[in-house]
Amino acid sequence: MQVDTVINARWIIPVEPHEVILEHHALVIHEGHILDILPQQQAQEKYQSSQQENFANHAIFPGFINAHTHVAMTLFRGIADDLPLMEWLEKHIWPLEKKWANEAFVRDGTDLAIAEMLRGGTTCFNDMYFFPEITAHQAIQHGMRANIGLIMIDFPTAWADGPEQYIEKGLALHDELRHEPLIRTPFAPHAPYTVSDEPLQQIRTLADELNLPVHMHVHETKFEVSQGERPLKRLHDLGLINPAFIAVHMTQLTSHEIKKFAQTGAHIVHCPESNLKLASGFCPVQKCLDAGINVALGTDGAASNNDLDMLGEMRSAALLAKGVAEDASAVSAATALRMATLNGAKALGIDDITGSLTIGKAADICALDLSDIETQPLYNPIHQIVYSATRHQVSDVWVAGKQCLKNKQLTTLNLQDLKSKIAQWQLKLQAPIN
């Protein structure tokens, strides 16, 4: 049978089933999807392809799903470090956004983020930012899968002048993008402290009607939960907490809240490095997993991380969970890899499309070279990926069967042109705000 691509690898880690490692297998891609996974000798006998990839030293696994980002904010990387969340937002980020956040800012910041993510093995991101139409356009142009949040915030910004216009523009964008195969459009109200009840009720109604997820920062800091009624209770009372709800951060949780949240079928996106850097607190990940909650991973924005490195995020998630739980078996390497792939797909409502190397799913794939001295000796490739490997060992990436990174070279972005644009933004952003 003639097919598009056959990838032969030393190890294939499908993620589904859990902890399975297939040695000397081949992954067969046809028309953007995974057609077969079988031993290499059988693949050679059964399939013919003009595109043969041989990875004798590589592990092949699903592309990472970065389940919470603000990709355009990559232009703010390093501009306001070592500050607590509210001071970081109110005195630095929001004033910069007021002056500079426009279509050009979002376009160039998104390109910078996509380049970084693809080079690190990420094939899908879930975004929340202004000018989402620009982010969507750049993702489509560069062949990257994305959930583009329909942003909502009470106060006016360069993108919209209030809740009514946010909803109007969001619905128009949803309608425009509904046939794009790589794009989904969840609602993205910013946080309980920036969105009032009436807009949240509108979003709940529209999300139910359109069958769209809702993606929101929740219980990020002690300050947030100390301002009267606890935000999770308010969101429960508004009817927002359901199987389509994606709560980001969740560092401040009681045992009762974990139990009640688990009963709703809603999802958590854990952003360990951003939470650590902003001293926001610790999500009790193992307790949430034990309760049956689906926990995914995100980097947050590079303005508060300061990278979009899902390999680093996996390692931080696994190590931090052990410390918080006081249990070395908490969040195993295989669980961390699942959180960074399949759990992210489940949270975004696309686990029927991506998140694992499963026959019939999209060919969203990462190839990582484990022959480097830093990952030797090698006893278990899953453990080595999570605890020892770095994103610089990612060599090749496919999204829906299209190769976006080939032998460490991006196929849809010119790095020299991108660096020139970023240098111009650096000059603007470091100038004093008048």
What the block records as the tokens of 158 is 């360069």
In this structure, are strands 145-148 and 64-69 parallel, antiparallel, or unpaired?
unpaired
**CA distance linking residue 22 with residue 343, whole number of Å:** 21
Domains of the chain, start order = 2-62+361-400 (2.30.40.10), 64-348 (3.20.20.140)
For 342, half-sphere exposure in the C-beta direction (CA atoms, 13 angstrom radius) is 18
Cα–Cα distances (Å) from 323 to 180, 254, 266, 352, in that order, read 42, 18, 25, 33
- Identify the burial level of 215 via C-beta atoms within 10 angstroms of its C-beta, where 0-12 means exposed, 13-18 middle and 19 or more buried: buried
Which of 239, 250, 242 is closest to 274 using CA atoms? 250
The per-residue pLDDT string of the chain (434 residues; one tens digit each, 9 = 90 and over) reads 999 999 999 999 999 999 999 999 999 999 999 999 999 999 999 999 989 999 999 999 999 999 999 999 999 999 989 988 889 889 999 899 999 999 999 999 999 999 999 999 999 999 999 999 999 999 999 999 999 999 999 999 999 999 999 999 999 999 999 999 999 999 999 999 999 999 999 999 999 999 999 999 999 999 899 988 999 999 999 999 999 999 999 999 999 999 999 999 999 999 999 999 999 999 999 999 999 999 999 999 999 999 999 999 999 999 999 999 999 999 999 999 999 999 999 999 999 999 999 999 999 999 999 999 999 999 999 999 999 999 999 999 999 999 999 999 999 999 999 999 999 999 999 988 76
77: left (phi over 0), alpha (psi -120 to 50) or beta: beta
Phi, psi of 122 (to 5 degrees): -85, 130
**CA distance linking residue 306 with residue 88, whole number of Å:** 14
Which of 118, 126, 114 is closest to 70 using CA atoms? 126
Enter the pTM of the model: 0.97
**CA distance linking residue 71 with residue 76, whole number of Å:** 10
Q: Token match 């390999």: residue?
A: 311
